[in-house]
Amino acid sequence: MGKVTLLGMSLPLVDPYGRGPASEKVGRPNHVLRPKGCPVPVSRMQSTPLPGIGVQYDLTTREHQHLSVIAHRDGTRTLNTYRREDPDACAHSLHLTEGETAALVDALTPTHHSPNLLHTSGLGLVAERIELSGSSYWNGRALGDTRMRTETGVSIVAVLRRTGAVPSPAPDFRLAGGDTLILIGTREGVDAAAVVLGRE
């Protein structure tokens, strides 16, 4: 398939799915995907836990270009692009190492101000935001019920909702569908937290 030059690095550009239609379809958000095939992207930024693999992020741009990123537990990333004429068909897949991913994030957000992901490589931590679905198991439950820090080591530093931001929410804070949680922790911890919060 050839190579693509990114940030001065020559990276392999592969199409492991044979340019055919994705072998697995997604019926709804947070559906557990099977590792083969390219998942179907959605019309907004959506995170989907992939047990044993990591977390998948799907996005459709303003120009109707479908993208997805799979954040693997080992720190690597897989960037997938889809055909405009068929959103189920994966056009290309690009695998990035942890260092290449960090360089790409720095290039995309040179001021380190990203609405979805802040990579703090010097501290070994990442900050991400995860949205609760309307059918989330945690809808109406107290934040402390997640046992987030105990189970994953991740801190929920803020909750964003339509009525405003809630910094440093207390354990008795009631979560609601549509809330966006701001998490800080290790890459592995944040991936585990995404699985917990993706429960329905």
| 104: in domain | no
Number of domains in the chain: 2
**Tokens representing 108?**
């995309």
Among 29-33, 84-88, 110-114, the range of highest mean pLDDT: 84-88
43-56 per-position pLDDT tens digit: 467 888 888 888 88
114 and 70 belong to one structural domain: no
CB 177 within 8 A of CB 132: yes
CB 121 within 8 A of CB 182: no
Query: Which amino acid type is present at position 192?
Result: A
122 and 94 belong to one structural domain: no
Residue range 166-194: mean pLDDT, rounded: 91
193 and 114 belong to one structural domain: yes
90 and 118 belong to one structural domain: no
Query: Which amino acid type is present at position 151?
Result: E
119 and 51 belong to one structural domain: no
Domain that holds residue 130: 109-197
126 and 148 belong to one structural domain: yes
Place of tokens 């945690």: 138
pTM for the structure as a whole:
0.43
| 173: in domain | yes
